[in-house]
Structure 1
Amino acid sequence: MSSRYHVVGLGNAIMDVIAPVEDSFLSDYDMSKGTMALIDQDRALVLDGALRATGKAQTIAGGSAANTMVGLAAMGFHAAYIGKTGRDDTGQALADGFEAAGLDFATRPSDSGSASARSMILVTPDGERTMNTFLGASVEFEKADVRDTMIRAADVLYLEGYLFDAEPAKAAFVHAAEVAHAAGGKVAVTLSDPFCVERHRASFRHLVDHQCDIVFANQDELLTLMQSDSLDAAMDEIEREDLVLCVTRGSKGSVISDGSRRYHVPAVWADTLVDTTGAGDQYAAGVLAGRALGLDWADAGYFGSVAAAEVIGHYGARPEMPVHEMALGLK
């Protein structure tokens, strides 16, 4: 285990099961394209089996924050991940997968009997993703699962909004943020999903206002948090000198505010759109990598754009090409 980390992520440890399907598959299993549904264990096992039966499914140790940490490790940065698994074969496969990707992985497996989490990600020919997620043991994360020593060794702590649903996890977030700040580190959060923000708006707002130094969000997530229909107005309200906002806008690129100035960062064109899974996760990896290299926020945002463009050109949420080399070559 490394003695020092550029970033440590905290979030759901989920086995991704990714497969290309036709639109008819969604109809057969009563799914709405482009949505993310939380499902129970029985539904998860049915869908898992159906996707594997296509012969085209990939299984990848994932989760939103985990994908960001893997992206950082792929660029040569020291990253670690803290999550929760069940005591089962999938939990062991998650640990093995994270470690194979270059991460130090910390978990205290659940003794509740819950199965490890998995997400069935269906990609239709238009590149749209439809997700069905069984959270299982991952949502049992609590303060006792936080590895204080690991967080103290990090320049940045990265918190995943998806994990924010349960009260014990909220307490774990606050504790982890306090540990990071006491050690002189920065705290970043990704808002993850508009519906997650809608359910816990007050708690998210308190976390952003009092515990965070960097916020990653897409436009819809920030508008939901601020209950606004104007991005400029939402940013006006939440901006402060010690908070950085990184707001993605799809093909329009992103806007980064460092409290005194807003940088409009263009998107990087992707020659082929295959799968949008992980675009936001890799954007965050690129931005954090850029900052670790000492870049200003505008250039770090460019790194994020390159990372997002690379990952949507293939299946899966992990980079397949050296993003840092691509960024330097395109600049």
Structure 2
Amino acid sequence: MNIVVTGSIAYDYLMSFPGRFVEHLLPDQLHHISVSFLVDEMRRQRGGCAANIAYTLALLGERPRLMGTVGQDFGAYRSWLEAQGVDTSLTHDELDLFTASFFVNTDQDGNQIASFYTGAMTRARNLSFHDPRIGPVDLVVISPNDPEAMVKYAAECQALGLPYLYDPSQQIIRLSGDDLRAGLEGCALLVVNQYEFEMLHEKTGLSAEEIRAAPQQACVITLGPEGAHIWADGELHAIPPVPPTRLDEPTGVGDAFRAGLIKGLALGLDWGIAGRMGALAATYVLELPGPQSHRYTWDQFVARFRTQFDSFAFTTAFSAPLR
């Protein structure tokens, strides 16, 4: 399947503070805060919604094309993605900027202080699906990105007749109601979590029924530990979760779900199976730190799927070749 994945490409800087933020904040001085926290752990990991989705698609045997803008520090990340099977030829280097970066400090109570540097991502609006290098496309993924880029890509996909999965998630806050309606009403698939679905309802003024009916193929709502709901062909498909063997942290879980779902559709499988593939792909991420730490072969994925859903009798569901 020829898939172009757009969205954020970023580094995540994760820090741990061995104390409680609240003990260092003076309630009567919150109008001019100046504090510094000495952290005892920091790790940098590869992230960004588009890169996360593309990585899991590559694990599942696809050769997704990653489309976005990156900075002067992207070289090693690019090489790593290419080695995993992700085509980065549609990424554009902005050598006067750094790659988008997320900085978060977490205290022992789980409270977080975070900042996001948009960096090179702000120039994603300069890329276009009219670029002749892109050629034929079976599916475009529009995931969180520079808001202007998201609006532009949706309009271009509609004009060019390119089917797209609309995943506004974190950027629902930044996008206007009109922009969200335009992106929603032209999409093939909508994938959001329950909270984001409610935000769409509030910002667009559309009813829940209107939102679910807007995508041409399906509306997918992820429900965290409760699985997911897929509305397609006038039916509701309830997707159960896959219990993790261990719990780590949830960053990138939703991105992996989207990749698993897309792989199922690429194989021509029905919504029940494709949704369960998304659920399993998500659980792999939940079991390890970071959104790109998981690794498995196609055979390992299929074996675990069959073990988890043995009673569902999917014995021939994965008879298609890997690619």
Tell me which amino acid in the other structure corresponds to 2:152: A
Shift of 1:249: 0.8
Classify 1:121/1:7 alpha carbon distance in 2 versus 1 (closer, same or farther; 3 Å): farther
> Normalising by the residue count of structure 2, what TM-score does the alignment of the two structures yield?
0.79
Inter-partner Cα distance in structure 1 for 2:126 and 2:165: 18
Shift of 1:96: 2.0
Give 1:36's aligned residue. none
Give 1:13's aligned residue. 9
2:83 counterpart (81, 94, 100): 100
Aligned-partner SS, 2:74: helix
Give 1:76's aligned residue. 61
Tell me which amino acid in the other structure corresponds to 1:7: I
Give identity over the alignment, percent. 22
Shift of 1:265: 0.8
Inter-partner Cα distance in structure 2 for 1:14 and 1:299: 31
Classify 1:171/1:267 alpha carbon distance in 2 versus 1 (closer, same or farther; 3 Å): same
1:258 counterpart (221, 232, 253): 232
Give 2:52's aligned residue. 67
Inter-partner Cα distance in structure 2 for 1:173 and 1:143: 14
Shift of 1:303: 0.6
Shift of 1:116: 1.9
Aligned-partner SS, 1:120: strand
Inter-partner Cα distance in structure 2 for 1:129 and 1:252: 25
Classify 1:14/1:268 alpha carbon distance in 2 versus 1 (closer, same or farther; 3 Å): same
Q: Tell me if 1:24 matches 2:32.
A: no
Q: Tell me if 1:327 matches 2:312.
A: no
Stretch moving more, 275-284 or 134-143 = 134-143
Q: Tell me if 1:215 matches 2:190.
A: yes
Inter-partner Cα distance in structure 2 for 1:29 and 1:7: 48
Give 2:242's aligned residue. 268
Tell me which amino acid in the other structure corresponds to 2:261: V
Inter-partner Cα distance in structure 2 for 1:208 and 1:25: 41
Q: Tell me if 1:190 matches 2:167.
A: yes
Inter-partner Cα distance in structure 1 for 2:220 and 2:231: 7
Report how many residues are paired. Answer: 292
More helix by share: 1
Retained in 2: the 8 A contact 1:148–1:176?
no
Retained in 1: the 8 A contact 2:53–2:259?
yes
Retained in 1: the 8 A contact 2:68–2:91?
yes
Shift of 1:199: 3.0
Classify 1:78/1:145 alpha carbon distance in 2 versus 1 (closer, same or farther; 3 Å): same
Shift of 1:120: 2.8
Superposed CA offset, 1:43-84 (max 9, x none): xxx99xx77x73x51432x21021011101011112110110
Classify 1:295/1:120 alpha carbon distance in 2 versus 1 (closer, same or farther; 3 Å): same
Give 2:28's aligned residue. none
Shift of 1:109: 1.9
Inter-partner Cα distance in structure 1 for 2:83 and 2:111: 28
> Normalising by the residue count of structure 1, what TM-score does the alignment of the two structures yield?
0.77
Give 2:274's aligned residue. 300
Classify 1:313/1:28 alpha carbon distance in 2 versus 1 (closer, same or farther; 3 Å): farther
Give 2:93's aligned residue. 109
2:147 counterpart (153, 165, 175): 165
Give 1:33's aligned residue. none
Inter-partner Cα distance in structure 2 for 1:266 and 1:219: 15
Inter-partner Cα distance in structure 2 for 1:278 and 1:260: 30
Classify 1:174/1:325 alpha carbon distance in 2 versus 1 (closer, same or farther; 3 Å): farther
- Uncovered stretches (5+) of structure 1, i.e. residues with no partner: 31-45
Retained in 1: the 8 A contact 2:124–2:146?
no
Give 1:175's aligned residue. 156
Inter-partner Cα distance in structure 2 for 1:277 and 1:125: 18
- Uncovered stretches (5+) of structure 2, i.e. residues with no partner: 26-35, 310-323
Tell me which amino acid in the other structure corresponds to 2:164: V
